[in-house]
Amino acid sequence: MNEQEFIGVIPSRYASTRFPGKPLVDILGKTMIQRVYEQALKSKLLSRVIVATDDERIAKEVSSFGGVFEMTDESHQSGTDRCAEVARRLSKQGKIVVINIQGDEPFIDPTQIDELCQCFIDPNVDLATLTTKFTHVEDVLNPNTIKVVRDQAGYALYFSRLPIPYFRDNQNIDSRNLNLFHKHIGIYGYREDVLQKVAGLKESFLEKSEKLEQLRWLENGFRIMTAESNHLSISIDTPDDLKNVISRFT
């Protein structure tokens, strides 16, 4: 653990299709990007936190609260691509582990970040992400919540928008078997060299089918370790999500 440096990168773009300007929306007196940044700073294992953006408005906001940002290419198609560009500038001969922190989770628990970092104690882990148990049946059936199945060592076998595993004998999904389903939490860790490799991969068939980037990595033979978290993850994808989150705190 002491030989590697964990760097938190928060990819942040202004032009969200469902919620333009999302990083700059006000949430109880602070912008979303400030809240994500401040939560990430509470991690015990990250040595630093960097916002990766292509927008001057976001960069200006990060500067206003004393944060660190890196300008990245506006042509990037994913947060992974932005993380890879930042990592190339910070290269330390393979000793960096980059933690890709979602910019739309203003109340992310810093413990989750540290849980992900802990996966890299194992030198064989190149990629990692988090999962949690489902608490509601309707979430298992919701295609916007991503499901993951894992092998006995904890490595991901597949991610899907459909409920997996599928019960062939037609038993219903209910409270008795809800614990068989694992929900994916969209925070990723990558060793620096592996990050450059996965960022250079072409879009794959499975990725196109499910619109899930991590399937590109699996389809190309990379293994993704998972760690289970008991902490709640709340993402804001739409203006309605924002209203619901604010209502919880007012």
Residues comprising the chain, all counted: 250
Q: What is the mean pLDDT of residues 241-248?
A: 83
Q: Over the stretch 223-232, which tens digit does the pLDDT of each residue have?
A: 999 999 998 7
Domain edges within the chain: 5-130+183-202+222-248
Q: What integer pLDDT is reported at residue 95 of this predicted model?
A: 86
Beta bridge partners of 5: 96
Q: What integer pLDDT is reported at residue 1 of this predicted model?
A: 46
Judged against a pLDDT cut of 90, whether residue 176 lies above it is answered with no
Q: What is the mean pLDDT of residues 97-107?
A: 94
Q: What integer pLDDT is reported at residue 155 of this predicted model?
A: 98
Cβ–Cβ < 8 Å for 117, 189: yes
Taking the C-alpha atoms of residue 55 and residue 100, their distance in angstroms, rounded to an integer, is 18
The superfamily in CATH containing domain 5-130+183-202+222-248 is Spore Coat Polysaccharide Biosynthesis Protein SpsA; Chain A (3.90.550.10)
Judged against a pLDDT cut of 70, whether residue 2 lies above it is answered with no
Closest residue by Cα to residue 195 from 54, 81, 75: 81
Q: What integer pLDDT is reported at residue 92 of this predicted model?
A: 64
The pTM for the full model equals: 0.93
Q: What integer pLDDT is reported at residue 237 of this predicted model?
A: 80
Judged against a pLDDT cut of 70, whether residue 93 lies above it is answered with no
Judged against a pLDDT cut of 50, whether residue 5 lies above it is answered with yes
Q: Over the stretch 117-126, which tens digit does the pLDDT of each residue have?
A: 999 999 999 9
Judged against a pLDDT cut of 80, whether residue 250 lies above it is answered with no
Cis peptide before 106 (omega within 30 of 0): no
Higher pLDDT, 83 or 249: 83
Q: What integer pLDDT is reported at residue 30 of this predicted model?
A: 95
Taking the C-alpha atoms of residue 114 and residue 107, their distance in angstroms, rounded to an integer, is 15
